[in-house]
Structure 1
Amino acid sequence: MEGRPQGRRAAMLQTLPGSPEGCAMTLMNALNRLAVTASKRTDVIIVAFMLMAIAMMIIPMPTYLVDALIGVNIALSLLILIVAFYINHSVEFSALPPLILLSTLFRLSLSITTTRLILLDGNAGHIVKAFGDFVIAGQVVVGLVVFLIITVAQFVVITKGAERVAEVAARFTLDAMPGKQMSIDNDLRNGDIDQFEARRRRSRLERESQMFGAMDGAMKFVKGDAIAGLVILFVNLLGGMMIGMVQRGMPFAEAAHVYSLLTVGDGLIAQIPALLISVAAGTVVTRVNSDGEERDLGTEIVRQLSASHRALGLTALILLGVGMLPGFPLLVFVGLAAVLGGSAFVLWRRDRRAARSLVKDELQEHETMAEPGASSGASGASNDAAEDALESTERPRDSQVLLSIGTGLAEAAPLQPLRQRIEALCHDIRINLGVEVPLPEVYLDRSLPADRFQVELEGVPVSEGEFSGMALLLQDDPVHAQLVSVETFEAPSPIGSRPGRWAGRDHAERLQDAGIGFLFADEVLREVLDRTLRRYAADFLGIQETRLMLEQLEGKYGELIKEVLRILPLQRIAEALRLLVSEGVSIRSRRGLLESMVEWGSIESDAGRLTEHLRAGLARQISHQYADRNRVISAFVLAPALEEQLRATLARHEKSRDSLPDDIGRTVLVQLRRLCDMLPEHDSTVLLVHSELRRCMRRLIVRGELQLAVLSFRELASEYNLQAVGTVSLTDVLARPASRAGAVTPLATAS
C-alpha cells in the first residue's frame, strides 16, 4: 500500500517540466499542435519555409539540421519533377514559377549554410561527406569533372533551351489571346457553350497567359542559380584551402584533399536538385497537349513512340546493323534490337488482327444480310420485314427522297446495313449543315438494270449511275494496290466526275492489311446519297421549316427572334437561309445568323445581298470548312487586271450585277476549268475574289458545273492563312497546284 503513493509520486516527478521526460513530452505536444495548425493553414508552411531560408543565411546551423534540410531540398526537387511529369496540362501546375523562386532561394541559403560549415569547421554534415566519399569515390578530379558536366548541361543545354521556349511561349500566348477570346465569345454567342463554360475558358486562358509570362522570368532564376553554383564552388575551394593552410597549419596536399572533397560534395548536392528543377521547368514549358485529350506526359510519350510498328522495326534493324560492326558489343545491340523488334512484332500482330477482324465482320455482315433466310429469331423477323418492304412491287408514293436500286446492287448492298448508313448520313448532315433532311427510302426496282441505281427527289430523278456491286471502289492511289499485287480496273465512279479505280471484292482483306482505303457497295450508295442530299439540302428548308426552327429557338433567344421578325419577313429569312445552305454553308450558328440579320436586315432589302453579309458573319466557320489541318486555305485568285476589269464591267451594268457578259464569262470559265482539271479529286481549293464579285463568280461556276467554292476576302477569319495555288487571267493561267507552291499569306493582310 505504501508503494503505490511512492509510484505515483515518481511518475509525477518524471513528468515535471524540469525533467528530461517532461521536456520531451512538452516538445511533442508543441509539435503536434503545430502539425494540426499547419494542416488547417497550408499558407503557414510556405511562410515558415521562406523564414527558414532567410534564417539559414544569418544563423549558423548544426550539422544534423543541415543534413535534414539537404534531404528536404532533394525531396522537394524530386516532388516538383514528378508532378511536372504527371500533370495533363501545363496550366495545372501554375504554381511552378513561384516554386522555382522559393526552391532557388532555399538552395542558395543552404549553400551559404554549408559554405559556413566548411570554412569554419571543415565539416558540413554526413550527406556532404557521403557525396564526397561515396558518390565520387574520394577522387577530387572525378568530382570536379562530374560537377562541371552537370553544371554545363544545366546551364547551356536545359536552362538555355527552356528559357527560349518559355520566352517564345509567353509571346505567342499573349499574341493569341485576342483571337482566343474572340473564339470564346463567338462560341458563347452561337450557343455552343454556356456562361459557366465561357467563364471557365476565360479563366483558364488568363491563367495560361500569366503562367507562361511568369515562366519566362522564372527561368532566369534557374539560370542564375547555375552561375551561383560555379561561384560558390570556387569560393569554397580557394577559401577552404587558405583557411586550412593559414589558420589550421595543414599541409597543402591535405588541405586541398579535404576541402576539395567537401566542396565538390556540396556542389553536387546543390546542382543535382537544381538540375531536377530545370528538367521539371523544361518539361512544363515544352509540353504540347493533344487535342481534346488529357494524358500525363509518360503516357503520351509511350503512346506516341509505340504508335508505329514500322518505326520500332526499322530502329531494331539499325541497331542490329550497328552491333555487327567490328569492335561493338554484339550482345548489347542484339538485346536492344530483340526488345524493339519484339515490340514491333506484337504491335504489328495486334494491328493486323484488329484490321482482319474488322474486315471479316463487315464481309460477314454483307454476306449474311445478302442471303435470304440467314437470320432467325427477333432479328430475323425484323430483317424479313425489311426485306418484304424492299421486295414490295409498289413504289413508295409519298417519299421525298427515293433510292431505287437494281437486283445486283440489292444483293451486294443488303438493306439493313444500307438503312443504318442512311440514317447515320441524315444525322451527319443535320449536325454539319444544320438542316433537317428527310430519310431516303430504298426501293428494289426490277425494271432497272441489275447494277444501276437512281435517286429521285419528289418523283424527279436527280442522280443515277451504274457500278458493279461485287467490286470495291479504291480511295487511295492505285499504285499502292499494285504494290500488294491487287489487280485494279478503271470504270466510271458514281461519286466523282472522273473515272475511278476498282478492285474485286475478294481482295478486301489484302487491301485492309495494306492500309488502302476502299468502299463497299452500300458505302458507295451512301456517298451518292450524301452528295445528292447536300446538293439539294436547300430544297428542304422552306417557310414552314424556318418557322419551326425559330419556334425551337424562341425559348433561348426570344427577344432576338422578335427583333428579327420585326425587321425581316419570314419569307426573306427562309430565302437567305436557303442561299447559304445551297453553297454548303452551315447554319448551325443560329445566334450569329440572327444577330447579323438584325444588323443588316433593315439595310439590305435583297435576300442575295443580305446573304453576303450573313456569310461575312460566319467567317470563322467558312474558313474552318475549307482549311487544312495547319489552318491554311488553298485558293485560286484573280489577276489584278482581270479583277479591275470585272469590277468595272459590273459597275457599267447596274441591272445585271450578278452576272458577267458572255464573252468574259466564257473566257474565265475556260481558265477555271483548266485549273480545276489540275487538282486531285475532292480537293478543297477555293476561288477567292473581291466581295463585289463573289455572287457573279458563283453563278458563273454553277453554270459551268464546276465543283469549286467561291469565297470573298470578307469571309476569311484572321486566324487562318492563305496559300495562292493559281492565278486566273484573261490571257493565261499561272498555276502550281500540283506542287502546292506559293507563299503562305496571313489572312489578316491578304485583302
Structure 2
Amino acid sequence: MGVRDLSVLLGVILIIAMLIIPLPTIMLDFLIIINISLALIIILVAMNTREPLQFSIFPTLLLLVTLFRLGLNVSTTRSILSEAQAGNVIDTFGSFVVSGNALVGFVVFLILVVIQFLVITKGAERVSEVGARFTLDAMPGKQMSIDADLNAGMISDAEAKERREKIEQEADFYGSMDGASKFVKGDAIAGIVIVIINLIFGFIIGMMQQGMTFDESVTTFTLLTVGDGLVSQIPALLISTATGIVVTRAASEGSLGYDVTKQIFAYPKMLYVAGGTILMLGIVTPIYPIVTFPIAILLIIGGYMLSQNELKTTEEEDVINEEETEDDMKSPESVVNLLQIDPIEFEFGYGLIPLADANQGGDLLDRVVMIRRQMALELGMIVPVIRIRDNIQLQPNEYTIKIKGNEIAKGELLLDHYMAMSPGVEDESIVGIETVEPAFGMPALWIGEEMKEQAELSGYTVVDPPSVVSTHLTEVVKRHAHELLGREETKQLVDHLKETYPALVEEVTPSSLSTGEIQKVLTNLLRENVSIRNLPTIFETMADYGSMTKDMDLLTEYVRQSLSRQISKQMTTPGEPLYVVTLSGTIEKKIADSIQQTEHGNFLAMDPNESQRILESAASETDRLAQMGQTSVILCSPAVRMYVRQLIERYLPQVPVLSYNELEADIEVQSVGVVNGE
C-alpha cells in the first residue's frame, strides 16, 4: 500500500477519533487551519478544471471534507462547553475578526449561513439534480451518435470505446454529485443547530458549573460560538461554491479564469457602453464623481486597448492565412492532395440539397450510415466512407454515383413527388411523369401527393425520393463491392479476425498466403454476391488448401464449397424448390476440353462461335425462367463452374452459377431448362 493510500486512511481514522477523543486546543488550531487550506485548494482546483470529469473524485472528497468539518465541530463544541475555550484560531475569529462585538459576529455568521444554505447550496443541489437527469436522458442519443460516427468511419473502435466510457463516467459523476450535494445541505443545517446548542448550553454551563456571571457567560460563549461558527462556515462556504462551480462547469478549452476573461472581454464595445453609463451616473446623480469617474475611465481605456489588440490580431491572422495559402499553392503537397480519389462519391444538383440538409428535414446522411451497417451485415465488408457533395454542373434534380472517380450510375429525382411502380397490371387512372426506377431499371411514374393513396390501393409500390436514392445507392454498392475491397480493407478484416482467432490467422498469413492473395479470394466471392462475413470458415478453408495451390480462382471454389450452407440459404426460399437451368453433358464436355492450363493458372479458350451459341442458349433459358417469376440460376458440375461463370459474366452478370457441391443435400432442385448450345 502506497503513502497516498495510507494518508487517506489515516485521515479517515483521525476524523473518527475527533468524534470520540477530546483533542488539545493546539491540535484543534492545526486542524482548523488544515480545514481552511483544504477548502481553498478544492475551490482553486474546481476553478481550473476544463470539464467536470477532470475532478471526478469531487463527490467522494466532498463527503470526506464535510465529515472532517463536522468532526471538528464536535471537538470544538466539546472544548467550548467543557473548558470555555477552543484554541487561538477560534479566539481570533471571535474577537479580532468581529472586533469583540458578539452581536455583529453573530449577524455575520447568520448571513454566511443564509448565503450558503439558501443560495449556493440550494442552487448547486438543483443543478446537480437536473444535470444528473439530463445526462441520463441524453445517454441513448449520445450512444447512437457514437455508433453513427463509428459506422461512418469517422472514429475508430478505440475512440468509440473511450467515448462510451466517458458517457458512463459522466452519468456516474452527476448521479454522485446529486447525492453528495445533499451532504452540503445537511452540513449547513448542522452548523446552525451546533451554534444554537453552543449558545444555549454555554450560558447554562457557564453560570451553573463554572461560576460565571450572566454577562461574563453571554460574552464568553457568544464570542467562542461565533468564532467557531465562522471558522467552520467559511470553509463550508468555499466548498459549497466549489460544488456549484463543478456542476455548472461546461467542457471548455481553458480554466475558469481564462474563460471568464476571454468571454466577458470578447466584446470591447460593450466596455464603452458600460463606461459611458457609469460616467452618466456620476454626472446626473448625487453619487460622487470621484467614485464613478475613475471606474468609467478605466472601462473606456480597457475597451480601447482590447479593440486595438483585436484589430492587430485580425490583421496578423489575415497575413498568416495569406502566407499559408501562398505556401500551400507553392508546396508540392498541395498538388499531391489533388491526386486522392474517394472510393465512393454521391454528387447531386442544387435542387436535391434538401435531401442531405438536416435543417430542411433531409435524412440522407442517416440513410448512408444505415447502408454501411446493412452492407456489413449482408456482405461482411466495411464499406468506405461515402463522400456526399453537391455539384453545380449537374442538372438541378440529377444525381450521380461514382466509384473511384468514375461515374457508375445516375438518376433523377422529383422531391415533391412519389415514385410509383406498377404491379404488372396497369391502372389507367394513375397518371404521372414517366420515368425508370434507377436501381433495377423498372418502368415507373412520378406521381403527386394527391394520387399516392389511389396508387397504393391499385397495388402500385409507392416510395418517396429518399428511399429511391438509398435503394439505388445500396444496389450500386452491392454490385461493385469487389472493387471497394482493396488490400488495406482486407488487412483491416484480417486484423479484426486475429483478435478472436489468432492461431487461424497466423496459419494462413503471411506464410501460406499474402494479403493480396487473400484479397483475391474475397473479391472473387463478393463479385458473385457471396457474403464474406463468415471469415473464420473462409480462413479454415484457405488454411487447408492454401499450401496445395497458388491458383486463387481454384482456391475460391474450395471456399465456396465450404460455404455451401450459406449459399444454399441465400439462393432458396423456405418451403419452395430451387428452379435451375442445367448444362447438357455435351456443353460441359466442350467447356472442360477448352480449359488451357498454364503456369499462371487456367483459363477458358473456346471457339468464339461456340461461345456465342452457349451464351444465346443460356440467355434464352434464364429469360424464360425469369418470365415465370422464378430466380434464374445455372447449375453445373464443380469442375467447370468457374469457367461457366467467366463465360457468361459479361453478358449475364446477375445470373448466379452454382455447382452441385455448393447445394445442401436437403435442397429440392427442379430443372426447368437445359443449355445445349443449339
Alignment partner, residue 298 of structure 1: 257
Change (3 A) 1:655 1:227: closer
Change (3 A) 1:429 1:345: farther
Partners of 1:96 and 1:265 in 2: how far apart?
Answer: 28
The one-letter code of the counterpart of 1:545 is G
1:532 aligns with 2:366: no
The one-letter code of the counterpart of 1:575 is A
Deviation sequence 1:151-202 (CA, Å, 0-9, x none): 0000000111111111110000001111111211222222211122122111
Partners of 2:58 and 2:175 in 1: how far apart?
Answer: 12
**TM-score normalised by structure 1 residue count:** 0.48
Alignment partner, residue 319 of structure 1: 278
In structure 2, stretches of 5+ residues that fail to align are 351-388, 416-435, 442-446, 471-678
**5 Å matches for 1:564-583?**
574-575=408-409
1:545 aligns with 2:405: yes
Change (3 A) 1:428 1:154: farther
Alignment partner, residue 648 of structure 1: 453
Deviation sequence 1:3-43 (CA, Å, 0-9, x none): xxxxxxxxxxxxxxxxxxxxxxxxxxxxxxxxxx7xx3322
1:205 counterpart (151, 156, 167): 167
Alignment partner, residue 422 of structure 2: none
Partners of 2:317 and 2:73 in 1: how far apart?
Answer: 63
Partners of 1:236 and 1:288 in 2: how far apart?
Answer: 41
Two-structure CA RMSD over aligned residues (Å): 4.2
Partners of 1:430 and 1:331 in 2: how far apart?
Answer: 68
Change (3 A) 1:419 1:79: closer
**5 Å matches for 1:196-595?**
196-290=158-252, 294-355=253-314, 435=345, 532=392, 541-542=401-402, 545=405, 574-575=408-409
Alignment partner, residue 145 of structure 2: 183
Partners of 2:295 and 2:338 in 1: how far apart?
Answer: 48
Alignment partner, residue 389 of structure 1: none
Could you say what secondary structure the match of 2:409 adopts?
helix
- Give, in angstroms, the shift of residue 334 of structure 1: 1.7
1:165 aligns with 2:124: no
Alignment partner, residue 26 of structure 2: 64
- Give, in angstroms, the shift of residue 220 of structure 1: 0.6
In structure 1, stretches of 5+ residues that fail to align are 1-36, 366-414, 438-456, 463-528, 547-570, 584-604, 611-641, 658-690, 699-751
Deviation sequence 1:693-731 (CA, Å, 0-9, x none): 767999xxxxxxxxxxxxxxxxxxxxxxxxxxxxxxxxx
Partners of 2:298 and 2:233 in 1: how far apart?
Answer: 34
Could you say what secondary structure the match of 2:132 adopts?
helix
Partners of 1:125 and 1:175 in 2: how far apart?
Answer: 51
Report if the CA contact (8 A) 2:346-2:399 is conserved: no
The one-letter code of the counterpart of 2:452 is R
Could you say what secondary structure the match of 1:321 adopts?
helix
Change (3 A) 1:238 1:540: same
Report if the CA contact (8 A) 2:48-2:257 is conserved: yes
Change (3 A) 1:426 1:117: same
Change (3 A) 1:432 1:179: farther
The one of the two structures with greater contact order (alpha-carbon pairs below 8 A, sep at least 6) is 2
Partners of 1:226 and 1:205 in 2: how far apart?
Answer: 32
Partners of 2:188 and 2:177 in 1: how far apart?
Answer: 17
Partners of 2:13 and 2:192 in 1: how far apart?
Answer: 26
1:111 aligns with 2:78: no
Alignment partner, residue 482 of structure 2: none
- Give, in angstroms, the shift of residue 327 of structure 1: 3.0
The one-letter code of the counterpart of 1:132 is G
Deviation sequence 1:449-488 (CA, Å, 0-9, x none): xxxxxxxx9xxxx9xxxxxxxxxxxxxxxxxxxxxxxxxx
Deviation sequence 1:125-146 (CA, Å, 0-9, x none): 0000010111111111110111
Alignment partner, residue 595 of structure 2: none
**5 Å matches for 1:568-717?**
574-575=408-409, 607-608=438-439, 645-651=450-456, 692=464
Alignment partner, residue 44 of structure 2: 82
The one-letter code of the counterpart of 1:136 is V
Could you say what secondary structure the match of 2:212 adopts?
coil
Report if the CA contact (8 A) 1:111-1:270 is conserved: yes
Change (3 A) 1:655 1:425: farther
- Give, in angstroms, the shift of residue 352 of structure 1: 3.3
- Give, in angstroms, the shift of residue 337 of structure 1: 1.5
Alignment partner, residue 591 of structure 1: none
Change (3 A) 1:419 1:57: closer
The one-letter code of the counterpart of 1:319 is I
Deviation sequence 1:488-515 (CA, Å, 0-9, x none): xxxxxxxxxxxxxxxxxxxxxxxxxxxx
The one-letter code of the counterpart of 2:60 is P
Report if the CA contact (8 A) 1:136-1:143 is conserved: yes
Task: Answer with 1 or 2: which has the greater Rg.
Answer: 2
Report if the CA contact (8 A) 1:150-1:271 is conserved: yes
1:96 counterpart (58, 65, 70): 58
Report if the CA contact (8 A) 2:328-2:334 is conserved: no
Change (3 A) 1:209 1:431: farther
- Give, in angstroms, the shift of residue 345 of structure 1: 0.5
Change (3 A) 1:654 1:283: same
The one-letter code of the counterpart of 2:266 is A
- Give, in angstroms, the shift of residue 72 of structure 1: 1.1
Could you say what secondary structure the match of 2:392 adopts?
helix
Identity of aligned residues (%): 40
**TM-score normalised by structure 2 residue count:** 0.53
Partners of 1:250 and 1:647 in 2: how far apart?
Answer: 98
- Give, in angstroms, the shift of residue 348 of structure 1: 1.6
Report if the CA contact (8 A) 1:101-1:221 is conserved: yes
Partners of 2:457 and 2:466 in 1: how far apart?
Answer: 17
Could you say what secondary structure the match of 1:575 adopts?
strand
Partners of 1:136 and 1:346 in 2: how far apart?
Answer: 42
- Give, in angstroms, the shift of residue 647 of structure 1: 2.1
The one-letter code of the counterpart of 2:277 is I
- Give, in angstroms, the shift of residue 311 of structure 1: 1.5
Report if the CA contact (8 A) 2:102-2:222 is conserved: yes
Could you say what secondary structure the match of 2:250 adopts?
coil
Change (3 A) 1:141 1:171: same
Partners of 2:468 and 2:162 in 1: how far apart?
Answer: 44
Could you say what secondary structure the match of 2:198 adopts?
helix
Could you say what secondary structure the match of 1:338 adopts?
helix
Partners of 1:425 and 1:345 in 2: how far apart?
Answer: 44
Alignment partner, residue 608 of structure 2: none
**Number of aligned residues:** 404
